[in-house]
Copies of this chain bind each other. A is one copy, B any other.
Amino acid sequence: MIESAKVAVVGVGNNTSALVQGINFYRHTGSLVGIHRSELAGLGVGDIDVVAAFAISEAKVGRDLHEAIFLPPNNFPRLDADLLPSGVTVQRGLVDATEIERVAHALKGAEVLLYSAPSGRPETARAYAEAALLAGVAFVNTTSDAVAREASLLERFEAAGLPLLGDDLASQFGTSVVHHALLRLLEERGLTLVSSYQVNLGGTEDFRNLVENPNTKKQSKLNAVGSDKVQMAPLGYLPHLGSQKIAHLNVEAQGWGGTAVSLDVRLRVHDPSGAAGVNIDLIRMAAAALRAGRGGYLSEAAALLKSPPGTAI
Query: Hey, which bits of chain A sit against chain B, CB under 8 A?
Result: 18, 21-22, 25-26, 31-37, 77, 79-80, 172-173, 177-178, 181-182, 185-186, 189-192, 194-195, 197, 199, 201, 211, 229, 231, 233-236, 238-240, 246, 248, 250, 253-270, 273-274, 276-277, 280
Q: Which of B192, B257, B265 contacts A79 (CB 8 A)?
A: B257
Q: Which of B35, B77, B261, B267 contacts A190 (CB 8 A)?
A: B35
Contact between A34 and B256, CB atoms less than 8 A apart: yes
Q: Which among A201, A256, A262, A273 has the highest number of chain B CB atoms within 10 Å?
A: A256
Cα of A261 to Cα of B229 in the assembled complex, Å: 24
Q: Which of B229, B246, B258 contacts A25 (CB 8 A)?
A: B258
Cα of A195 to Cα of B242 in the assembled complex, Å: 12
Q: Which of B238, B270, B274 contacts A260 (CB 8 A)?
A: B270
Main secondary structure of the interface of A (DSSP, over half): mixed
Which chain B residues border A182 with CB–CB below 8 Å? 178, 181
Q: Which of B22, B185, B229, B259 contacts A77 (CB 8 A)?
A: B259
Given known A-B contacts A192-B34, A234-B234, A267-B262, A177 and B172 have beta carbons under 8 A apart: no
Which chain B residues border A236 with CB–CB below 8 Å? 197, 199, 231, 233-234
Cα of A248 to Cα of B200 in the assembled complex, Å: 12
Measured CB to CB, the nearest residue on chain B to A196 is B240
Q: Which of B77, B181, B257 contacts A34 (CB 8 A)?
A: B257
Report, nearest first, the 10 A-B pairs whose CB atoms are least far apart: A36-B190, A233-B236, A256-B277, A22-B257, A256-B273, A234-B234, A34-B255, A33-B192, A195-B240, A262-B268
Cα of A262 to Cα of B244 in the assembled complex, Å: 11
Q: Which among A190, A250, A262, A265 has the highest number of chain B CB atoms within 10 Å?
A: A190
Given known A-B contacts A34-B255, A258-B25, A238 and B231 have beta carbons under 8 A apart: yes
Contact between A190 and B256, CB atoms less than 8 A apart: no
Measured CB to CB, the nearest residue on chain B to A270 is B259
Given known A-B contacts A181-B181, A192-B33, A257 and B199 have beta carbons under 8 A apart: no
